[in-house]
Structure 1
Amino acid sequence: MPLLLCFALILLAAVLLSSLANRTILSTAVLFLVAGFVLGEGVTGVVPLTPSDPSVKLLAELALFAVLFTDGMKVGWPQLRTAWRLPGRALGWGMPLTLVITALAAHFIVGLGWPESLLIGAVLAPTDPVFASALVGNDKVPPRLRHLLNVESGVNDGIALPFVMVFLAISAGSGDLGLGALGLELLLGLVIGLAVPWLALRLERLRFFSASTQYEPLNALAIGIVVLALAQAVHGNLFIAAFTAGITVATFGSRQRQAFEHFGELIAELLKLAALLVFGVLISPAFLAEISWAGWLFVVVAIFVARPVALWFSFLGARLNLREQAAAMWFGPKGFASVVYGLIVLKSGIAGADLLFHLIAGTIVVSILLHSSTDVVVARWLDDAAETPAWHRRLRRFTGTDRSEPSGGEKAHAARS
């Protein structure tokens, strides 16, 4: 009951502050994270939760499923085929390089063994643009950049999962890596994500079935719940199933996609904020104090070096302008996938699981604070038509990316200088 009441009160506060958050660096994601931190046992003890509580993992998985399902509905197979060049670079080169650079940092800075270093690299490789929503959801931001970040984040969660499982098995010293079972899990998720939406959409086209206007937004919701339940029942991969199902609906049911779009985003937002609140509860001052200086140095490298360097290399010759490339390099926030995979590592019982979870959680916390607070700033920087502050325009001219003329006030100020 305390958790539900706290969530309701913080949600009300977030709604009342949402307009201000859309215009400033204030972030609702940070609000829920900080509120969870304050309400946790390490500060006030209002909400007693531990990482071993089953509700923690359940909520994180539901939130990630909802986010991937709604992300998948933003693109269809035709769009993926015709605009795959940049996401392909980010996934084919950027993601493996991010994993390797993160693993190198974990090995040489923190002193982890190679299996554990590769494991934490795989956990932190996926990105989550939910925490950069002002960028991904802004029509003024170049479409190819929004498409790049959206497709990359939706696909890389599932791509990272096999690596997480393999490196986890190696870290545990298991001789049987279970690759056959893992491959079957991924295949089942893919099949369920394709078959269930396709069959449901075909049924609706029969003359005996037709969704009323009132219930039409629930059509895609029902499809998502069936996909979730079936994937759990047959042990298919939930996240592959979610993203594939979203793409299938977008491809074969444009009307259902439009009816569900706003409703689905609200559901995903609610689950995301609830998961952030719970994650914040798990992070206490004592928890953060247990991270050594080497651990914090690793966090800095994981955020400021790993992805920027990896994407800089990946986009060589891609003809992205400076602003687009800088935004793509910066926005590699760690979100629900890393939270879920981190909890899997914590509960695995491998040697050093607690240390790995501390490093993962520290990186996620810093990432959310940084990326959620800079999305509006970067979105304005990318928007040529926006009424941006003078310092934005000066920054654009300094980087050579401003095509507009200085305003009269700026010219007069320059003349006086």
Structure 2
Amino acid sequence: MDPLLIVFAGVLLLAVLLSSLAHRTILSTAALFLVAGFVLGDGALGVVSLAPDDELVGTLAELALFAVLFTDGMRVGWQDLRTAWRLPGRALGWGLPLTLVITALGAHYVVGLGWVESLLIGAILAPTDPVFAAALVGNEKVPPRLRQLLNVESGVNDGLALPFVMVFLAVAAGSDNLHLGDLGLELGLGVLIGVVVPWLAIKVEQTRWFSASTQYEPLNALAIGLLVLALGKATHGNLFLAAFAAGITVATFGQRQRESFEHFGELIAELLKLAALLVFGALISLPLLGSVGWQGWVFAVLALIAARPIAIWISFLGAGLTVREQAAVAWFGPKGFASVVYGLIVLASGISTAQGVFQLVAVTIVLSILLHSSTDIVVARWFDDEREVPAWYGAARRLRDRTRGQSGQNPTAPAPRPAEPDR
């Protein structure tokens, strides 16, 4: 624990010092933690020694995904979904299941996995991560509908993919462990806790007997989240669906709680995410990356450049997006944090194919983090109108204006018309 804490603190300090540079270049904070984990883990220097079945790995993954799903849900209250559902609805209603199916086809026919394991991999890799599209979403020259589409989709698809992951994992565990009734109860109980607890807490605060001070207001949503987590564990409800439902409920009924918690909550979720990425990197080794064979690497490439683009192209037929917008949406389907944690959950599940599934997921995520985190700035600049003008044209125009200014002409005035000949 001590070496891991020292490593995390050191890498976190480095990430903070480089954060300004990362916003302007292809440098990625997520990639920094992933690479640091890989270099300092057992696969290289051995400073951080972790095994997939270590309690720390499971606990950290659980807490990080809970925090991420809670904050993701808080970004998309029902009002937000109603006002901005047309394009995100296509991406989630058609794009997500199509991506799952196409990815599963690749895992089955390229790698040769069984259908259940292939569908499990498809569900794990279907969600997208907004971290790697930050430059695109934050660029005001990118059309608002495109930024809204990527924001809403990435905020919702983690929670939508989760039931598929749990069902396929239960099926992969075998008939002896498959109890769909119990699984349905677990998922339903998680949603119930995620809706009822925040709703009651917000309604109680709105009475005349209670009121949170400005100092403690950001802790309101945190307390709600912790209560949902504790009740989910005590009742064996699904923690992740509870977290996602709780975030949506707070965003829907507690606008003040949502606004006060937003920045504070994102910092907590970001800390846990980065810690989980460091652990994930420490579990990756060169033998693991090589053990998937050329078929595994072909699958990883196809999962990134074929599955998502094909699914998005089909989903947005007739939607009115420009070619540039559709290309940006198709490319920025990065496999990020939710896929990392779902992969760790499978690895700790004990199913016979856990190691093989995790290896394919790990290779795809590593490739995605490296590719998407290094291209978000480039793709965002596609939408910069000034960059659409060729450099030679701008230089020629400045030279022409300078020449006209020196000759006493108004550079913005139209050129004088030639005198008409006498008739």
TM-score (norm 2): 0.88
- The unaligned stretches of length 5 or more in structure 2 are 400-423
Question: Which letter does structure 2 place at the counterpart of 1:112?
Answer: L
> How far is the alpha carbon of 1:105 from its aligned partner?
1.0
After alignment, is 105-114 or 290-299 more displaced?
105-114
Would the aligned equivalents of 1:154 and 1:243 in 2 still touch at CA under 8 Å?
A: no
Q: CA–CA distance in 2 between the matches of 1:151 and 1:16?
A: 30
Q: Structure 1 pair 383/257, CA: closer, same or farther in 2 (3 Å)?
A: farther
How do 1:91-170 residues align onto structure 2 when only pairs under 5 Å count? 91-170=92-171
Distance 1:107 1:410 in 2: 56
Aligned to 1:402: none
Q: Which of 380, 390, 394 is equivalent to 1:408?
A: 394
SS of 2:175's equivalent in the other structure is coil
Shift of 1:127: 1.6
8 Å CA contact 2:128–2:335 kept in 1: the answer is yes
The match for 1:185 is 186
Letter in 2 for 1:302: A
Deviation at 1:54, TM superposition (A): 1.7
Partner of 2:197: 196
CA distance in 2, matches of 1:158, 1:96: 13
> What CA distance in whole angstroms lies between the structure 2 residues aligned with 1:222 and 1:410?
61
Matching residue of 2:73: 72
Structure 2 counterpart of 1:20: 21
Q: Residues 106, 217 of structure 1: CA spacing in aligned structure 2 closer, same or farther, 3 A cutoff?
A: same
Question: Paired residue for 1:236?
Answer: 237
Cα distance change of structure 1 residues 171 and 246 upon mapping to structure 2, 3 Å threshold: closer
Structure 1 residue 139: deviation in Å?
A: 4.7
Note the 1:282-301 alignment, pairs <5 A: 282-301=283-302
Can you list the C-alpha shifts for 1:40-86, whole angstroms capped at 9, x where unaligned? Answer: 01111101011111211221222122122222222221121222121
Q: Which moved more, 1:149-158 or 1:91-100?
A: 149-158
The alpha-carbon distance between structure 1 residues 370 and 42, as it changes in their structure 2 partners (threshold 3 A), is same
Distance 2:167 2:72 in 1: 26
Structure-2 separation of matches of 1:45 and 1:201 = 48
- Identify if the C-alpha distance between structure 1 residues 207 and 173 changes in structure 2 by more than 3 Å, giving closer, same or farther: closer
Moved more, 103-112 or 340-349: 340-349
Aligned-pair CA distance for 1:347: 2.8
Gaps of 5+ in 1: 395-404
- The offset of 1:171, in angstroms, is 3.0
Structure-2 residue corresponding to 1:378: 379
In structure 2, the CA distance between the partners of 1:393 and 1:41, relative to structure 1 (3 Å rule), is: farther
The match for 1:302 is 303
TM-score with structure 1 length normalisation? 0.89
8 Å contact 1:162–1:182 — kept in the other structure? no
| 1:51 matches 2:52 | yes
How much does 1:360 deviate?
0.6
Q: Distance in 2 between matches of 1:194 and 1:181?
A: 20
Deviation at 1:207, TM superposition (A): 2.3
Deviation at 1:341, TM superposition (A): 2.1
- Paired residue for 1:397? none
Query: Which residue is 1:63 aligned to?
Result: 64
Preserved CA contact (<8 Å) 1:37 1:284: yes
> Separation in 2 of the partners of 1:309 and 1:286?
32
Q: Secondary structure of the equivalent of 1:224? A: helix
* Cα 1:18/1:352, change in 2 over 3 Å: same
Please provide the CA RMSD for this pair: 2.1
SS of the equivalent of 2:52 reads coil
1:412 deviates by 7.9
Q: Which amino acid aligns with 2:324?
A: R
Q: How does 1:261-276 map to 2 (within 5 A)?
A: 261-276=262-277
Tell me if the contact between 1:324 and 1:382 (Cα under 8 Å) persists in the aligned partners. no
SS at match of 1:151: helix
Superposed displacement of residue 205, structure 1: 1.8
Does the CA contact (< 8 Å) of 1:217 and 1:259 recur in 2?
yes
Query: What is the identity, as a one-letter code, of the residue corresponding to 2:355?
Result: D
Shift of 1:138: 4.6
SS at match of 1:73: helix
1:248 maps to what in 2? 249
- Looking at structure 2, the residues matched to 158 and 393 of structure 1 have their Cα atoms a distance apart, in angstroms, of 41
Q: Structure 1, residues 237-263: CA drift from partner, whole Å, max 9, x if none?
A: 222222222222222222222211111
Give the % identical residues: 73
**1:196·1:227 contact (CA, 8 Å) conserved in 2?**
yes
Structure 1's 195 and 10: CA in aligned 2 closer, same or farther, altered over 3 A? Answer: same
CA distance, structure 2, for counterparts of residue 383 and residue 71 of structure 1: 28
Q: Which amino acid aligns with 1:179?
A: L
Distance change (3 Å), C-alpha of 1:271 and 1:304:
same
Aligned residues: 398
Conserved in 1, the CA contact under 8 Å of 2:309 and 2:331? yes
* 1:354 counterpart letter in structure 2: Q
More displaced stretch, 26-35 vs 206-215: 206-215
Deviation at 1:27, TM superposition (A): 0.8
Inter-partner Cα distance in structure 2 for 1:118 and 1:278: 26
Tell whether the 8 Å contact from 2:100 to 2:119 is kept in structure 1 after alignment. yes
Shift of residue 170 of structure 1? 3.3
Question: Which has the greater radius of gyration?
Answer: 2
- CA offsets, 1:100-156, max 9 Å, x none? 111111111111122221221122112221332333345543332233223222332
Following TM superposition, by how much is the alpha carbon of 1:98 offset from its aligned partner in structure 2, in angstroms?
0.9
Q: Tell me the amino acid that sits aligned with residue 222 of structure 1.
A: A
